[in-house]
Amino acid sequence: MKGFISYAHDDIRMFGRFRKHLTATEQAYGIPFWADERIAAGHHWDDEIQQAIDAADLFILLFSPAYIASTYISAREIPAIAARVRTVNGLISR
C-alpha cells in the first residue's frame, strides 16, 4: 500500500509540520507516503507526480485557501486523484 500527499507549495511550512506527524504512521503501518519533495532536480515533475498518483492507494489532501486557488492542483492533481480513487474502488477497470 502506498500513499500520496497533495498540498500547495504556499503551504510548505504546514506540510513540513504535518509530514513529521505522518512519519509515525508510515513506520507503524509500513505505508510510504509520496510528496513532491521527493522529486530530484532536473526530473520531469509532472510525470513523476502522475506516476505517484497512479501508484497510490491512499490520498491526503491538505486543503487551504492556497490549495483551492492552485490551478495546477485543480486542473491536474484533483482529476488524476479522482480517477485513481475510482480505479482503486473498482468503479473503473484498468
**Could you tell me the domains of the chain?**
3-88 (3.40.50.10140)
Q: pLDDT band for position 10 (50/70/90)?
A: very high
Distances in Å between the Cα of 24 and the Cα atoms of 18, 37, 45, 52, 56 are 11, 18, 27, 21, 19
What pLDDT digit, counting tens, does each position of 29-68 carry? 999 999 887 666 666 778 888 999 999 999 999 999 999 9
CA-only gyration radius of the chain, Å: 13
For the CA atoms of 20, 23, 25, 27, the dihedral, rounded to the nearest 10 degrees, stands at -160
Phi-psi region of 7 (alpha: psi -120 to 50; beta: other; left: phi over 0): beta
What pLDDT digit, counting tens, does each position of 62-89 carry? 999 999 999 999 999 999 999 999 887 7
pTM: 0.84
Is the confidence at residue 1, as pLDDT, over 50? yes
Is the confidence at residue 92, as pLDDT, over 60? no
State the cell numbers at 61: 489532501
